[in-house]
Amino acid sequence: MSRERRPKPGLKSRSGVTDLLGKCTARIDVPCSEQMREDFRAYAHIHGIPPAELGRQILEDFLYGRIGRIRRLASRVEAGDGRNEG
């Protein structure tokens, strides 16, 4: 009996699921201090998500508001595609 292999939550660029804002293939380079980089990576690790996903969530919340992100995710669940989390 084989199990269906599902993508890990948060790996949108490799999940086979396109984000409502488009496939996550563009990159943003943000210069920061080594301490900020380490703290950012530690925060992502503590919350169990890749640093890139944390960055996307922060940018999405800043640009569109947290409620906008939650609404987009809810519309995906209603449409039957609940594979990705916010």
Domain ranges of the chain: 31-86
- Is the separation of the CB atoms in 12 and 19 below 8 Å? yes
Whether the Cβ atoms of residue 84 and residue 12 lie closer than 8 Å to each other? yes
Global confidence as pTM: 0.58
Alpha-carbon gap, residue 12 to 61, rounded angstroms? 16
The reported pLDDT for the residue numbered 19 is: 61
26 pLDDT higher than 70: yes
Q: How many Å is the Cα radius of gyration of the chain?
A: 14
**In this predicted structure, what is the pLDDT of residue 86?**
47
User: Looking at residues 50-75, what average pLDDT do you find?
Assistant: 86
| Contacts by 21-24, CB closer than 8 A, 24 or more apart | 21/60, 21/72, 24/56
DSSP state of 3: P
What CA–CA distance (Å, rounded) separates 50 from 30? 16
Label residue 7 by pLDDT band (50, 70, 90).
very low
Which stretch, 6-15, 40-49, 75-84, has highest mean pLDDT? 40-49
The answer to whether the Cα torsion of 29, 25, 77, 63 is positive or negative is positive
pLDDT band, very low/low/confident/very high, at 60 (cuts 50, 70, 90): confident
